[in-house]
Each structure stands twice: as C-alpha cells, then as structure tokens.
C-alpha cells in the first residue's frame, strides 16, 4: 500500500516579478520572492535560490535526524550550498549542479554509528532525492577537524 501526502501553496503577484507565497498551513508565514535585476528588484529570494535552500535544508535535517537516531547529541550543524546555472541547448538557464557542504561540530569518530549514518542520511532526504533525476547534486560533509567524512557526486 502506498502512502500519499499532498500539500499546496498559493502564489500571488505583488508587483512585476515579486510574488507572495502563501502556504496551506496557516502557521507558516507567507514568503516574499522576487527575481534579481534586470527582471525584478531582487527584494527576495528567487526560485533558483529557494531550490538550493530546499536541497541544503533537507540534507541538513536528514543528517541531524540520523545523528540523533543513533543517540548522538551534535552541536550546531552549518551548511553551505552553491548552485550553478548554465544555458541548455535551447539557450535557457537551468540549474545544472548543486554542491552542498555540511560542517559537523565534532570529529566523526566522536559520533556513534558515524559510518552507517553517513552512508544512509541522503537516501532519506525527500527534496534531494526528488531533484537528483534532473539535477546533479553533490553533497559533502566535513567534521570539526575539516576532514571530509562523506561525499557523493552527481547521480542526475
């Protein structure tokens, strides 16, 4: 038996390329978006930035969940993400690559089941695994010593 969940948003144009995004959960405040110049005024994040934020946030939350599942109590996780835009064969801009780097506050060896959870956490990230079929998503995790303790490339 499959499990299905639906959610919705409503976009309302405020001016030019600026929109207000209202979510179906009344507890979530509306979000203001805008395209950068020359199209818009750059008064809010644009959809490409929201996509990048969604991927980075989902991966960070998934890693935090995995750490806690194995009874770890990590401090603050810091995530940096970068998207690359390129023109396709039709000369239209597309997000072609996303790079995510997650910094753990402690050495990997300080975490229980570190190897296992680092091998699994990406598979539970709804957003990343949903976009990977069309966008290469590179993910790396660094611990407090600066050592890369996880890396995956592409898959798109």
Residues 8 and 69 in one domain: no
CATH assignment at residue 73:
3.30.300.20
Residue 98: its pLDDT value, please? Answer: 96
Residue 1: its pLDDT value, please? Answer: 54
Residues 39 and 53 in one domain: no
Residues 53 and 119 in one domain: yes
Q: Which residues contact 50 (CB under 8 A, 6 or more apart)?
A: 33
Q: Which residues contact 52 (CB under 8 A, 6 or more apart)?
A: 81, 82, 83, 95, 98
Give the model confidence (pLDDT) of 39-64 as tens digits: 999 999 999 999 999 999 999 999 99
Residues 78 and 12 in one domain: no
Does the pLDDT at position 134 exceed 90? no
Mean pLDDT value of segment 77-98: 96
Does the pLDDT at position 155 exceed 80? no
Angle value at C-alpha 37, between 35 and 43, nearest 5 degrees = 55
Q: Count CA atoms closer than 13 A to 62's CA, side-chain side.
A: 22
Residues 68 and 102 in one domain: yes
Residues 68 and 23 in one domain: no
Residues 56 and 129 in one domain: yes
Q: What are the distances in angstroms from CA 37 to CA 20, 23, 46, 88? A: 18, 26, 11, 21
Residues 126 and 142 in one domain: yes
Does the pLDDT at position 156 exceed 70? no
Q: Helices then strands (H, E): number in the chain?
A: 3, 7
Q: What mean pLDDT, rounded, does the chain reach?
A: 93
Residues 7 and 64 in one domain: no
Residue 106: its pLDDT value, please? Answer: 95
Residue-wise burial string across 123-139, b where 16 or more C-beta atoms lie within 10 A, e elsewhere: ebbebbbebbeebbbbb
**Dist CA 11 CA 36 (whole Å):** 18
Report how many domains make up the chain.
Answer: 2
Residue 132: its pLDDT value, please? Answer: 87
Does the pLDDT at position 69 exceed 70? yes
Residue 67: its pLDDT value, please? Answer: 97
Its domain, for residue 140, covers 47-152
Residues 73 and 129 in one domain: yes
Residues 84 and 109 in one domain: yes
Give the model confidence (pLDDT) of 4-32 as tens digits: 899 999 999 999 999 999 999 999 999 99
Residue 102: its pLDDT value, please? Answer: 97
């Amino acid at each position: 038996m499959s499990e299905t969940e639906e959610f919705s948003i409503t976009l309302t144009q405020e001016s030019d390329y600026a929109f207000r995004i209202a979510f179906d959960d009344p507890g979530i405040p509306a979000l203001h978006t805008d395209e950068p110049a020359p199209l818009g005024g750059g008064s809010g994040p644009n959809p490409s930035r929201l996509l990048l934020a969604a991927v980075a946030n989902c991966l960070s939350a998934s890693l935090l969940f995995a750490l806690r599942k194995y009874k770890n109590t990590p401090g603050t996780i810091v995530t940096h993400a970068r998207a690359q835009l390129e023109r396709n064969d039709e000369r239209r801009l597309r997000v072609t690559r996303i790079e995510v780097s997650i910094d753990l506050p402690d050495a990997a060896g300080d975490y229980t089941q570190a190897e296992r959870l680092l091998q699994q956490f990406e598979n539970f990230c709804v957003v990343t695994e949903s976009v990977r079929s069309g966008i290469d998503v590179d993910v790396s995790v660094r611990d407090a010593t600066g050592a890369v303790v996880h890396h995956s490339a592409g898959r798109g």
